[in-house]
Amino acid sequence: MKSLTVAIIILLGLVAVQAMAVARPTAVKVTIVVNTHFNGDPAEVLEITVPGCTTLTTTVTDQSGPQHKELGSMDIFTGEKLFDCEGAGTFILEYRATTDLEKPDVWGGDVGVWKVTDGTGDFAGAQAHGRLVGTAFEDGSGITDAWSGVMTLRN
């Protein structure tokens, strides 16, 4: 009887360890590179390495567009974008980017940070953050944003 009890305890322990292994979040490096046109044309996705996201569309969630503030020579942009990975779900990315208006060539464009604030489908409960580098088109009609960082998926 004692050995049966020990065997049951060991079996329950193994089941608990297996359940913990299955529930462990997965952290992955992600990259999204998007050309955004200021005239309202759809954004062009140049690169995406988000798991399960082979087709991506992006929308500005705040219809007034990015919020903009000047502090001396610093130009600060904040905003949110909705990334839709079609069948895999969506996630909302919040960002803050800064440009030095007096020395735009020093930084090569905007630099900033981002984080995921909400998600659906495969991205429900996801956590993500990283760095943003934006480079304006030569003619000023848009910007190429490169988002890189780490995403932790809960599913």
pLDDT of 53-92, one tens digit each? Answer: 888 888 776 655 567 777 777 888 888 889 999 889 999 9
Report yes or no on 144 lying in a domain: yes
Residue 94 to residue 110: CA distance in whole angstroms? 15
Closest to 135 measured CA to CA, from 117, 147, 119: 147
Tell me, what CATH number does 35's domain have?
2.40.350
Report yes or no on 58 lying in a domain: yes
Total domain count, the chain: 1
Report yes or no on 84 lying in a domain: yes
Report yes or no on 87 lying in a domain: yes
pLDDT of 98-120, one tens digit each? Answer: 887 777 665 567 889 999 999 99
The pTM (predicted TM-score) of the whole model is 0.75
Identify any residues that bridge with 153 across adjacent strands, giving them in sequence order: 26
Length of the chain: 155
* Residue 133, pLDDT above cutoff 80: yes
Residue 110: domain span: 26-153
Report yes or no on 31 lying in a domain: yes
Report yes or no on 12 lying in a domain: no
Report yes or no on 19 lying in a domain: no
Residue 56 to residue 83: CA distance in whole angstroms? 7
Report yes or no on 21 lying in a domain: no
